[in-house]
Structure 1
Amino acid sequence: MKFLVRTLLVLIVASTAFVAYSFYISRPTVDIAWDAGRPQVIADPAAALTFARTASSLIRVTRHNGDTIDGIDVTAGLGDAGDLIEAYARLGYDGLAAVTGPTVTVPLTGLTVPVDFQYPYVAAGTNFRDHAEEVYLDDPPFLFPKLARASGWNDPVSFHPRLDFEAEIAMVPLADIQSPDDRVKYGLVLCNDFTDRWTLLRQIDLDAPMGTTGFAAAKGRPSFLPTGYLFVIPRSASFYQTIALELAVNGEARQRFPADQMILDIDDIVRQAFDQAGHTFLDGDQPVDLLPAGGIPRGTLILTGTGAGVAFKPANVWNQGFYLQRADRVITRATFLGHLENRIE
């Protein structure tokens, strides 16, 4: 009888400690309050050109007013090269900067996805050390196919059990990449790499190379890739290092990190993509290719990873309360890249 009582007490203490620990690791790690009114900043055109798009116009953005943007409608000036990436290929940075047109003010609600991105996309996992540590992964950064199509900056995100968020910069090649040694220019866009962690845990095979199982399905659901309304073309390849990202859920800060803490830079990610192109990646039980075109076509979104602060921790997956709920409001922001505002439905 005493043995049973002792055993029961040990189980109660251990369970209580585990529950307390799961609450502790699930607390927000950002210690600076979310500033909902902080002004958005557009990059100096000497350092980067910023573009946005409506249903009928391409705009070079000069100012962000909060609910609207000011800019120059370059649609007519570009003529047949109305596609932004095509226009860059023809005119280059300085040529794009010189295109003129009427000045306009456009509400953010009138802005669409700024570029017709080339699907499917490539994504990097655990490319920030503090994120790798918080999810207890000691694997080096890995890649996986991101199979959700880009959606709008304020589109709703569909609810799934253990739904998680990841603020990220996506880099977009402005020319085709046909070999791992190609060096091209990149545009930048903000995105949020939402994840169905429950599906990821059910489908991942830890004996397979990381990224080849679980990730394509868990991150590939419709609406799981809201993408920013601003597309930024920097003059310098190091411009991304000046960007900081942050994310809030229902007005509470959850992520804040600088982009210069990436482990793999974009050239490393590209080399790794070509190295792993022959691997078998699974979307459920269906094989998918990381690079179905053989290379990386211009306009492909390349997601570069997230910092610490995501909802998922291995010890908290037992409780849906630690994850996103229906009606939650997720705001993602990045220096020079605008913001996303997504409701979970």
Structure 2
Amino acid sequence: MRFMRIGEAGAERPAMLAQDGTWRDISRLVPDLGPETLATAAEVLAGADLSLLPALSPDSQRVGPPIARPRNIWCIGLNYSDHAAEAGMAVPAEPILFTKPGSTLSGPTDPILRPAHARKLDWEVELGVVIGKPALGIAEADAMDHVFGYVAANDVSEREWQIERGGQWSKGKGYPSFCPVGPLLVTRDEVPDPQALAMELTVNGAVMQKGTTATMVFGVAHIVAYLSRFVLLEPGDLIVTGTPPGVGMGFKPPRYLKGGDVVELTVEGLGRQRTVVQDV
């Protein structure tokens, strides 16, 4: 199954791709795609006759984030060995965990906001994992049963705030719009191997990141099981799983985003984002 949420911010309607290639408004069956519904959404929609539902057009309407605001956004740091090297940090022995507030969530074409006191705004293309049922203390062998699906994400980061303002990573990750997600939410069954997805990010048309989830230090199943030892993973939770090399701070000299820059990214099978940096 492939999903979008289509409409203006705060008024998005959940949509599912029908067999005829049209997007259908499924809000009569599933009010939204988020914490209250994802645990049962696939079961409710299985076998539904989408042809009876209204059509929606992602070409003529805003596409929002494909999930409603999650209770939690969990993030894994330095999860690609070559990214750790460009950051001058050791490959971690265990997954590094930090969080982003739900207010960072934005759509795949919404602007990335750059406040006046942001001087080192950076990009990170990432595979996002959406939880479908609660997970606490689960085994790695069972972890994938708790995954609903996958999204493309950009873990936008302000490096001065992250690194030079007291060492708190979340501080540099939490400004509104710092987590563009989408356009698609694709269910787990349509992504047979999440460790074999190509990823790319460009800034103003120039390729900055080009990698594959095959080089993740800790794979999706390991991450889900590992996190469940320490926190309750809930339906609708988003896990962003790390980024390959090519982030702005890794260049010599570093390259950071400025107002008007166009950031485009794709994760194989999960659609393409196009966001513009907006000074505020």
Shorter-chain TM-score bucket reads 0.7 to 0.9
What stretches of structure 1 of length at least 5 have no aligned partner? 1-48, 205-212, 278-290
Q: Is the 8 A contact 1:112 1:229 kept in 2?
A: yes
Q: Could you say which residue in structure 2 is the equivalent of 1:133?
A: 85
Instruction: Determine if the alignment matches structure 1 residue 336 to structure 2 residue 269.
Output: yes
Give the AA of the match of 1:107.
P
Q: Could you say which residue in structure 1 is the equivalent of 2:151?
A: 189
Identity %: 28
* CA deviation vs aligned residue, 1:240-289 (integer Å, no higher than 9, x gap): 234211111001111111122211122322343355x4xxxxxxxxxxxx
Q: Could you say which residue in structure 1 is the equivalent of 2:107?
A: 152
| Aligned positions of 1:172-251 closer than 5 A | 172-181=130-139, 183=143, 184-204=146-166, 213-235=167-189, 238-251=192-205
Secondary structure of the residue aligned to 2:68 is: coil
1:186 CA displacement: 2.9
1:335 CA displacement: 1.7
* CA deviation vs aligned residue, 1:114-160 (integer Å, no higher than 9, x gap): 22242331100111111111112114141111235211111111222
Say if 1:272 and 1:341 are closer, same or farther in 2 by CA, change over 3 A.
Answer: same
TM-score, normalised with respect to structure 2: 0.82
**Which structure has greater helix proportion?**
1
* CA deviation vs aligned residue, 1:270-319 (integer Å, no higher than 9, x gap): 343355x4xxxxxxxxxxxxx4xxx11111110001111111138635xx
Q: Is the 8 A contact 2:135 2:228 kept in 1?
A: no
Q: Could you say which residue in structure 2 is the equivalent of 1:268?
A: 222
Secondary structure of the residue aligned to 1:270 is: helix
Secondary structure of the residue aligned to 1:198 is: helix
**Paired positions, count:** 260
Q: Could you say which residue in structure 1 is the equivalent of 2:55?
A: 104
Secondary structure of the residue aligned to 2:177 is: coil
TM-score, normalised with respect to structure 1: 0.68
Q: Is the 8 A contact 1:166 1:310 kept in 2?
A: yes
Secondary structure of the residue aligned to 1:158 is: strand
Q: Could you say which residue in structure 2 is the equivalent of 1:115?
A: 67
Distance in 2 separating the partners of 1:123 and 1:59 = 27
Q: Please give the root-mean-square deviation of Cα atoms over the aligned residues, in Å.
A: 2.6
Give the AA of the match of 1:165.
W
1:236 CA displacement: 6.6
Q: Could you say which residue in structure 2 is the equivalent of 1:58?
A: 14
Distance in 2 separating the partners of 1:315 and 1:201 = 17
* CA deviation vs aligned residue, 1:18-63 (integer Å, no higher than 9, x gap): xxxxxxxxxxxxxxxxxxxxxxxxxxxxxxx111122464322258
Secondary structure of the residue aligned to 2:73 is: strand
What stretches of structure 2 of length at least 5 have no aligned partner? none
Instruction: Give 1 or 2 for the bigger CA radius of gyration.
Output: 1
Distance in 2 separating the partners of 1:75 and 1:100 = 13
Say if 1:262 and 1:130 are closer, same or farther in 2 by CA, change over 3 A.
Answer: same
Distance in 2 separating the partners of 1:310 and 1:264 = 19
Say if 1:62 and 1:131 are closer, same or farther in 2 by CA, change over 3 A.
Answer: farther
Distance in 1 separating the partners of 2:89 and 2:204 = 28
Say if 1:239 and 1:99 are closer, same or farther in 2 by CA, change over 3 A.
Answer: farther
Runs of 4+ deviating beyond 6 Å: none
Say if 1:99 and 1:339 are closer, same or farther in 2 by CA, change over 3 A.
Answer: same
Say if 1:98 and 1:306 are closer, same or farther in 2 by CA, change over 3 A.
Answer: same
Say if 1:305 and 1:63 are closer, same or farther in 2 by CA, change over 3 A.
Answer: farther
Say if 1:240 and 1:315 are closer, same or farther in 2 by CA, change over 3 A.
Answer: same
Q: Is the 8 A contact 2:136 2:228 kept in 1?
A: no
Say if 1:236 and 1:189 are closer, same or farther in 2 by CA, change over 3 A.
Answer: closer
Distance in 2 separating the partners of 1:152 and 1:333 = 14
Distance in 1 separating the partners of 2:241 and 2:83 = 13
